[in-house]
């Protein structure tokens, strides 16, 4: 067996996820729910790490990446992937990304319910993430 067939067999159960992340016109909800869940998990992991392991440099870097870079780049990659699959829906997908940013903000603010002194939804970091996300999304919409 070669490496390609091993990888293909290992990733076979996840083929449906790739189809969901194209945000198909007939049913984009599974992909949006998956992305929303990813955002909520990132926010909860960020909160957990920041409150439990406060003295670790590695945790600090991980928290900073989870605060904006990971989420923004995943949404940007999905926008580019979806624009390639359905070019006519690229501009609609930008509206979905805006809705995902609302989910992101709500999930960040929900962490403040558990501990009021946390960052919550850091609008500054989210703004930088929006520049990344929507920049890639607009370029993908214009190119396809």
Residue by residue, pLDDT tens for the chain (144 residues) are: 577 777 677 667 777 888 888 889 999 999 999 999 999 998 888 888 877 777 778 888 888 888 888 999 999 999 999 999 999 999 999 999 999 999 999 988 888 887 777 766 778 888 889 999 999 999 999 998
- Residue 88 φ/ψ, nearest 5 degrees: -70, -15
Domain extents in the chain:
30-143
Supply φ then ψ for residue 93, to 5 degrees. -65, -25
**pTM of the prediction?**
0.85
């Amino acid at each position: 067996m070669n490496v390609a067939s091993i990888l293909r067999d290992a990733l076979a159960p996840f083929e449906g996820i790739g189809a969901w992340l194209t945000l198909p016109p007939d049913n984009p909800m599974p992909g949006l729910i998956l992305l929303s869940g990813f955002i909520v998990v990132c926010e909860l992991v960020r909160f957990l790490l920041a409150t439990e392991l406060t003295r670790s440099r590695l945790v600090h870097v991980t928290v900073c990446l989870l605060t904006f870079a990971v989420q923004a780049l995943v949404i940007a990659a999905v926008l580019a992937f979806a624009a390639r699959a359905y070019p006519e829906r690229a501009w609609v997908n930008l509206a979905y990304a805006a809705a995902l940013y609302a989910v992101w903000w709500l999930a960040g603010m929900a962490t403040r319910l558990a501990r009021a002194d946390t960052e919550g939804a850091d609008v500054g970091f989210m703004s930088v993430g929006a520049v990344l996300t929507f920049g890639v999304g607009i370029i993908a919409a214009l190119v396809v």
